[in-house]
Amino acid sequence: AAASAAAQACSWLWLRSDPPALRPAVPVALLAALHLLQLGFFFRCLHALKVGWKVCWAKAEEEDEQRHMAFLSHDISMLRLFETFLENTPQLTLLLYVILRTNKAELSQGLGIGTSFLCVSWSLLDYHQSLRSFLQDKYELSLGSSIIYFLWNLFLICPRILVVALFALLWPYGVALHFPLVWLAMFLWVSLQGTEFMESSGPEQLYRAMVAVILYFSWFNVAQGRTLYRSIIYHGFILVDSTLLALAWLWGRAPSEEHSYLLPVVSAALPCYLLGLGLRVTYYKWLHPNMQVQQEGGSDEVDASGRSDGLEFRSFLEPDLVNRRMQWLAQTQFPLSQPARQHFLNGTAAV
């Protein structure tokens, strides 16, 4: 309930900070009521379908409608990401814990767990693809790049959830202590990176708290500049933490444990995580759209030097349609060159 309320609060705060021309033509009181009833995300999806229908059939102002659709789609993608890691991933961990505790699993439960793992990884891919929709020149992920991006997140997330569930199997109350401590460390780390996602300091703390939950399970970039060193620090921390959780389970399990089949599974967790890291390196080394840009003579530096030559984002024609939230996200993931950055700061929307 708290996770759903946090996501609804973010959705409401985003709507309040959006330019009036980009808000749904619905009374503010009705929007507030929908969010209080936990229907804000559902309403956003319906509104996006309406705008998408206009994009498909309307001829007038088609470019602005496409930009508007990209803006709406990204909001939905980000809310789905929050829902995945604040609700679905903890529930997946709990379900895995219950199955291990009872040592019984129906076929439907096994299929559900497998599907849930795939959905978690898919939400990260969908979010990244949504961010790239802001690029004026469509340097989208190819099919091969998308597959590698999906697999690397899957191979990194599966071992993390497994070791947390195993640790809870022996020390249920230990997880109640472990999660807040790691979450607090991630929250402080995000705060030190100086995010400027929301319009004011109070909502910004809510955003950082939600991102800290994501970081408990998976990498999530929140700041501009080179991410290599931050990524190494994060994955090093998670690797050590997950290893300690697995060793604690191995140390605490009884010799006559019925879960002997878990030993090979746990033994495969570390190679699985290292494989995920290897796929990530492969992606950024050979399959990232940067390679396409460099071959064409441009530079779409996302995780390298932090420079960008000629990279532009979608923007509305009206200078009043400014959205700091989308501008921050776009500049975080796809750093602008200096001329383009000045152009955005002078009032063009990063949508």
Calpha distance 259→300 (Å, rounded)? 49
pLDDT band with cut points at 50, 70 and 90 for residue 271: very high
What pLDDT does 341 receive? 41
What pLDDT does 71 receive? 79
First vs last C-alpha separation in the chain: 31
Average pLDDT over residues 234-257: 87
**Residue 21 confidence (pLDDT) above 80:** no
What pLDDT does 175 receive? 92
Please report, for residues 33, 79, 239, the alpha-carbon distance to residue 27 in angstroms, rounded to integers and kept in the order given. 10, 22, 48
What pLDDT does 338 receive? 37
Weakest mean pLDDT among 10-19, 153-162, 340-349 = 340-349
What pLDDT does 30 receive? 92
Higher pLDDT, 112 or 257: 112
**Residue 189 confidence (pLDDT) above 90:** yes
Higher pLDDT, 16 or 330: 16
**96-154 residue pLDDT tens:** 998 888 888 788 888 889 999 999 999 999 988 887 776 655 567 788 889 999 999 99
What pLDDT does 263 receive? 83
Parse the chain into domains and list their residue ranges: 80-251+261-288
Listing DSSP states for 42-94 in one string gives HHHHHHHHHHHHHHHH--TTHHHHHHHHHHHHHHHHHHHHHHIIIIIHHHHHH
What pLDDT does 194 receive? 85
Please report, for residues 8, 108, 126, 310, the alpha-carbon distance to residue 5 in angstroms, rounded to integers and kept in the order given. 5, 29, 23, 40
**292-345 residue pLDDT tens:** 555 555 444 333 333 344 445 555 555 555 556 766 776 676 654 333 343 333
Weakest mean pLDDT among 48-62, 103-117, 155-169, 200-214 = 48-62
What pLDDT does 157 receive? 96
Q: How many CB atoms lie within 10 A of CB 346?
A: 9
Average pLDDT over residues 26-34: 91
**161-181 residue pLDDT tens:** 999 999 998 888 899 999 999
pLDDT band with cut points at 50, 70 and 90 for residue 155: very high
Q: Is the Cα torsion angle 85, 86, 92, 94 positive or negative in sign?
A: positive
Average pLDDT over residues 182-202: 91
Higher pLDDT, 351 or 146: 146
Q: What is the pTM of this model?
A: 0.86
- Which of these, 235, 244, 103, lies nearest to 167 by C-alpha position? 244
